[in-house]
């Protein structure tokens, strides 16, 4: 392994600009003559708009223009789309209601976009916005996930009279029913997977710019996938054809899914730039982010696990109601369906699984992918019910899992997925050793002497990443293919630019991708620059989400590097007067087999461009190759996380005392960066389990719309984390990578809740397990414990 190659913890190339304050985030971009946008938002969860009176606001100082849904409609700007078609059990397509970028006739959640005010300064836009008078007829709001279908009253969308978007299912119902009929034991569990608000630290922002000389648009925006944004803004919203629309996603301050989607604000800013013929800038404040960023999770689930007399799992049936909010966000429909139910088999050999998912509209913010997207929800179901089953059956939770682990590969589950490689027992062994499982009873007893309740909880998760084979997702309803692109440009001096369709917003691609190129071409890592996030530079790409940039994005780079090497060998052959077949390439040098004739990579690059040594008709000058890579399967990262916690029964406060994570991510490019991804994922998962609760009141008002109300994880909420890996190579991509970005967020919530319920001897603890909830549970169990 070289100091900067695959497997080395290379310090990040991107860090210098961030630690010196020289990053370029969207809000750092200012265009000459720019005006500022402020969005007038609905204060009601559900209301008819009778009239919008903007006359007074238009007279306010500094106002340039005010637009409403009428203007959007007049310009025939298309609505925001959902790009994944789900069909119900009866074959009918999902019921997608209209989603205009500015409301037309009705508002459907608090924060819904009613008008945009554009003014000379942001303060003027905001002040004028407060003078836009909107006459509403307020309607009863549909808020609660579980009762959205039966609440009656005016539905959120006419197209869905009972607020049902679809009734979908997966698996084999008769086989599952048969398994339950012969079960020795059935474990039943009701679960709420709490709604979360993603909260990337950089709020969303956009600068729309219109060049009237060229009749072309540029949108600077906080996007994880600028090419997808351009595609949607062109093909569906009709802003401009793709050749007249450039989308730039510069440094982006975290995404976690929330910056995948094409939102109203960005769409309006780029459209309005032409209307006012000035750049239009918008930057979300934090409360706007709480109100209008797509939220995550929000499932209500009943699950049942059937086991036989030997403690083997024989069937799983799950019914979930998934809240998709007021509108179908870009990929919302895929999250509680194909990103969820196919993961319900977990790491276990379960012969029969059947899952039903009813998706509902409510008068709340749209719900879409948030770190893990469907897989945390699935993992919470399976890892909670497995833990409860182990307790009911009297098994040690580690042993119960181990006896049901999948142990041979490939393993076809009853719910689509074919696991290609893994060693779940190895991760479990290592995790048990790292947490000192044998010492736990002594630690528990010691805690008890101090008046504390100590618990231990497991989570043996699996996820499907590296999304995804285009044909496969196409057959499941995706409107796009999920390949990735790369272009490797070798300069005449031997330095390299790699253009990638992946987008880095914290993941460190500028370093890890350069490690791959440095090792492969035998050139210093400083000679490699990674270019991303600009549709004028990178031709096309699908962006970063679903832990796909290593497995799919880097595989595309490998393919392009293969082509570069093949071409370079031809050039070297001419220079060294040998057949390309006799040229070997190693450590940055081309040699003629069996001779001492050699030429280094930089010299070959120069020869490719001067083209003196070969006829340009036989071999084209230059050294630049592109590739598209379409994966052949999902990848299946898996691992075991163990949480050990202590509860103060007097206050209900839960402290995490130990955390062990053992993950199998396949081949790891940069262990330092991978560990960092795991740390961050765990923090978000612990946040879900202990701290983060999204609260709408019955009128649909978001009560948790600031950092004073929504509890973000802080440094003191965590102990030092023990993070290690095991390794089975992923067989379905050239680098053997599985992906690591979402694992922590997927694994952590059930580990925490299993630890708390272990400590309490009480299974009914809803997330977030706040001190109040835990204290109440303690009050219920303490008399019981005292009696025992």
DSSP conformation class of 146: T
Among 1, 181, 715, 786, binds another protein (CB under 8 A): 715
Whether the CB-CB separation of 458 and 591 falls below 8 Å is answered with: no
Tell me: does residue 31 bind another protein (CB under 8 A). Answer: no
Residue 762, class by beta-carbon neighbours within 10 Å (0-12 exposed, 13-18 middle, 19+ buried)?
middle
Phi, psi dihedral angles at 119 (to 5 degrees):
-140, 175
User: Which of 137-145, 401-409, 416-424, 708-716 is the region at the interface with another protein (rule: CB under 8 A)?
Assistant: 708-716
Dihedral, CA atoms, 747, 753, 756, 761, nearest 10 degrees?
A: -130
Alpha-carbon distance values, 30 to 248, 281, 475, 640 (Å):
13, 8, 43, 46
Between 347 and 654, name the residue whose CB sits nearer to another protein: 654
| Spatial separation of the C-alpha atoms in residues 491 and 610, rounded to whole Å | 11
H helices present in 133-205, as ranges: 173-181
- Of 255 and 336, the one with the shorter C-beta distance to another protein is 255
Q: Of these, 21, 394, 594, 783, which contacts another protein (CB under 8 A)?
A: 21
25 binds another protein (CB under 8 A): yes
Among 3, 74, 201, 214, contact with another protein (rule: CB under 8 A): 201
Stretch that binds another protein, among 7-15, 179-187, 632-640, 779-787 (CB under 8 A): 7-15
H helices present in 277-331, as ranges: 286-292
DSSP three-state, residue 297: coil
Burial 281-305 (b: 16+ CB within 10 A, else e): bbbbeebbbbbbbbbbbbbbbebbb
The region of 14-22, 211-219, 263-271, 761-769 touching another protein under the rule CB under 8 A is 14-22
506 binds another protein (CB under 8 A): yes
For the bound state, the minimum distance from the C-beta of residue 36 to another protein, rounded and expressed in Å, comes to 11
Is residue 326 within the footprint of another protein (CB under 8 A)?
no
Question: Nearest CA to 653 among 711, 725, 732, 709?
Answer: 711
Q: CA separation (Å) from 59 to 28, 280, 281?
A: 30, 19, 21
If the CB atoms of residues 501 and 681 are measured against another protein, the closer one turns out to be 681
Alpha carbon distance 635, 732 (integer Å): 7
Does position 59 interact with another protein (CB under 8 A)? The reply is no
| Total interface residues for another protein by CB under 8 A | 61
Q: Is 481 in the site for another protein (CB under 8 A)?
A: no
Q: Which is nearer to another protein, 140 or 680 (CB)?
A: 680
- For residues 346 and 318, give the distance between their C-alpha atoms in angstroms, rounded to a whole number: 13
List the strands of the sheet with 598-600, edge to edge: 583-586, 589-592, 598-600
The one among 343, 656, 721, 778 contacting another protein by CB under 8 A: 721
Q: Among the candidate windows 96-104, 170-178, 273-281, 710-718, which touches another protein by CB under 8 A?
A: 710-718
The reply to whether 718 sits near another protein by the rule CB under 8 A is yes
In the complex, the smallest distance separating the C-beta of residue 12 from another protein, rounded to whole angstroms, is 7
* Nearest residue (CB) to another protein, 267 versus 670: 670
Of residues 237, 330, 364, 507, which one binds another protein by CB under 8 A? 507
Least separation in angstroms between residue 733's CB and another protein is 24
DSSP 25-91: BGGG---TT-EEEEEEE-SSSSEEEEEEE-HHHHTSTTEEEEEEHHHHHHTTPPPP---B--B-TTS
Interaction between residue 7 and another protein (CB under 8 A): no
Q: Is 582 left (phi over 0), alpha (psi -120 to 50) or beta?
A: alpha
Nearest CA to 778 out of 770, 280, 686 is that of: 770
Question: How far from 514 is each of 168, 349, 444, 525, 538, CA to CA, in Å?
Answer: 43, 39, 47, 6, 17
Query: Pattern of binders to another protein over 234-263, x per CB under 8 A?
Result: -----------------xxxx-x-------
**3 state DSSP class of 580:** helix
Name residues contacting another protein, limited to 537-576 (CB under 8 A): none
**231 to 243, 279, 505, 541, 579: CA distances (angstroms):** 10, 21, 20, 10, 45
Per CB under 8 A, the segment of 25-33, 88-96, 516-524, 530-538 that binds another protein is 25-33
Between 473 and 721, whose beta carbon lies closer to another protein?
721
Closer CB to another protein, 35 or 252, in the complex: 252
Of 697 and 706, which CB lies nearer to another protein in the complex structure? 706
Q: How far is the CB of 530 from another protein (least distance, A)?
A: 15
Please say which residue, 12 or 375, places its beta carbon nearer to another protein: 12
Among 713, 736, 739, 768, binds another protein (CB under 8 A): 713
**For residue 664, which phi and psi values (nearest 5 degrees)?**
-110, 100
Residues 271 to 300: which contact another protein by CB under 8 A? Answer: 283, 285-287
Only one of the segments 93-101, 198-206, 605-613, 773-781 lies at the binding site for another protein (rule: CB under 8 A); that segment is 198-206
DSSP 371-384: TTTTHHHHHHHHHH
CA angle 557, 560, 563 (to 5 degrees): 150
Under the binding rule (CB under 8 A), the answer on residue 492 touching another protein is no
Q: Contact with another protein (CB under 8 A): which of 199, 225, 535, 754?
A: 199
Per CB under 8 A, 406 contacts another protein: no
Interacting stretch for another protein, rule CB under 8 A, among 122-130, 235-243, 358-366, 381-389? Answer: 122-130
Least gap, CB of 283 to another protein (angstroms): 8
Least distance between another protein and beta carbon 701 (Å): 18
**Which single residue is written with the structure tokens 């059947």?**
354
Q: Does 23 bind another protein (CB under 8 A)?
A: yes
Q: Taking the CA of residue 378 as centre, how many other CA atoms within 13 Å lie in the half-sphere pointing to its CB? A: 30
Q: Is 1 in the site for another protein (CB under 8 A)?
A: no
Taking the alpha carbons at both ends of the chain, their separation in whole angstroms is: 59
Which residues touch 244 (CB under 8 Å, ≥6 apart)? 214, 215, 216, 217
Q: Which is nearer to another protein, 20 or 150 (CB)?
A: 20
Site string for another protein, 665-694 (x = CB under 8 A): -------xx-xx--xxxxxx----------
Binding residues for another protein restricted to 737-776, rule: CB under 8 A: 744
Q: By the criterion CB under 8 A, which residues form the site for another protein? A: 11-12, 14-25, 27-28, 30, 61, 123-124, 127, 199-203, 251-254, 256, 283, 285-287, 505-508, 672-673, 675-676, 679-684, 706-708, 712-716, 718, 720-721, 744
């Amino acid at each position: 392994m070289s100091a900067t190659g695959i497997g080395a913890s290379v310090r990040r190339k991107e860090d210098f600009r961030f630690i010196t304050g020289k990053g370029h985030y969207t809000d750092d971009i200012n265009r000459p003559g720019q005006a500022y946008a402020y969005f007038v938002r609905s204060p009601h969860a559900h209301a008819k708009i009778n009239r919008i009176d903007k006359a007074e606001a238009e007279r306010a100082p500094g106002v340039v223009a005010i637009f409403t849904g009428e203007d959007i409609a007049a310009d025939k700007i298309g609505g925001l789309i959902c790009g994944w078609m789900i069909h119900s059990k009866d074959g009918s397509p999902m019921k997608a209601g209209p989603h205009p970028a500015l409301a037309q006739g009705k508002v459907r959640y608090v924060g819904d976009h009613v008008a945009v005010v554009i003014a000379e300064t942001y303060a003027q836009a905001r002040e004028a916005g407060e003078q836009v008078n909107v006459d509403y007829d307020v309607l009863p709001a549909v808020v609660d996930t579980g009762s959205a279908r039966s609440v009656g009253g005016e539905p959120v969308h006419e197209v869905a009279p009972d607020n049902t978007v679809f009734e979908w299912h997966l698996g084999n119902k008769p086989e599952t029913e048969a398994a339950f009929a012969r079960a020795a034991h059935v474990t039943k569990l009701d679960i709420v997977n709490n709604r979360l608000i993603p909260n990337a630290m950089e709020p969303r922002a956009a600068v729309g710019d219109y060049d009237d000389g060229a009749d072309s648009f540029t949108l600077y925006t906080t996007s994880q996938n600028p090419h997808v944004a351009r595609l949607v803004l062109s093909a569906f919203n009709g802003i401009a054809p793709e050749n007249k629309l450039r989308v730039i996603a510069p440094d982006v301050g975290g995404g976690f899914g929330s910056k995948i989607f094409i939102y109203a604000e960005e769409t309006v800013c780029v459209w309005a730039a032409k209307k006012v013929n000035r750049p239009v800038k918008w930057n979300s404040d934090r409360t706007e982010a709480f109100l209008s960023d797509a939220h995550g999770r929000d499932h209500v689930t009943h699950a049942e696990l059937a086991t036989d007399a030997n403690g083997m799992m024989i069937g799983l049936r799950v019914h979930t109601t998934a809240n998709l909010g007021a509108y179908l966000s870009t990929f919302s429909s895929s999250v509680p369906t194909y990103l969820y139910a196919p993961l319900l088999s977990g790491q276990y050999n379960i012969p029969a699984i059947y899952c039903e998912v009813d998706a509902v509209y409510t008068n709340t913010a749209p719900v879409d992918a948030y770190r893990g997207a469907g897989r945390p929800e699935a993992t919470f179901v399976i890892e909670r019910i497995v833990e409860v089953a182990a307790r009911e059956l009297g098994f040690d939770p580690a042993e119960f899992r181990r006896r049901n682990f999948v142990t041979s590969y490939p393993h076809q589950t009853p719910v689509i997925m074919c696991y290609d490689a893994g060693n779940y027992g190895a991760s479990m062994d290592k995790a048990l050793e790292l947490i000192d499982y044998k010492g736990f009873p002594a630690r528990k007893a010691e805690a008890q002497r101090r008046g504390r309740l100590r618990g231990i909880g497991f989570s043996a998760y699996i996820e499907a990443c590296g999304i995804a084979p285009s044909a496969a997702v196409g057959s499941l309803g995706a409107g796009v293919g999920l390949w990735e692109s790369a272009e490797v440009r070798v300069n005449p001096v031997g330095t390299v630019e790699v253009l990638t369709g992946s987008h880095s917003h914290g993941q460190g691609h500028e370093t890890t991708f350069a490690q791959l190129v440095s090792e492969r071409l035998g050139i210093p890592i400083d000679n490699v620059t990674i270019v991303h996030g600009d549709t004028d530079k990178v031709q096309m790409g699908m962006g970063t989400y679903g832990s796909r940039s290593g497995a799919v994005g880097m595989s595309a780079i490998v393919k392009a590097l293969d082509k570069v090497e093949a071409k370079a060998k031809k050039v070297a052959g001419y220079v060294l007067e040998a057949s390309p077949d006799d040229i070997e390439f190693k450590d940055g040098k081309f040699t003629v087999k069996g001779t001492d004739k050699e030429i280094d990579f930089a010299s070959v690059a120069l020869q490719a461009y001067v083209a003196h040594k070969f006829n340009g008709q036989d071999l084209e000058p230059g050294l630049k190759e592109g590739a598209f890579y379409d994966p052949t399967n999902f990848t299946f990262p898996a691992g075991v996380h163990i949480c050990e916690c202590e509860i103060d029964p007097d206050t209900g406060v839960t402290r995490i005392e130990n955390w062990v994570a053992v993950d199998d991510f396949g081949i790891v490019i940069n262990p330092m960066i991978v560990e960092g991804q795991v740390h961050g994922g765990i923090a978000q998962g612990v946040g879900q389990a202990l701290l983060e609760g999204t609260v709408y009141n019955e009128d649909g008002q978001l009560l948790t719309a600031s950092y004073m109300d929504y509890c973000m994880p802080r440094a003191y909420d965590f102990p030092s984390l023990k993070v290690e890996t095991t390794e089975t190579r992923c067989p379905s991509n050239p680098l053997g990578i599985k992906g690591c970005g979402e694992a922590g967020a997927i694994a952590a919530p059930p580990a925490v809740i299993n630890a708390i319920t272990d400590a309490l001897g009480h299974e009914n603890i809803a997330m977030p397990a706040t001190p109040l909830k835990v204290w109440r549970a303690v009050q219920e169990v303490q008399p019981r414990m005292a009696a025992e």
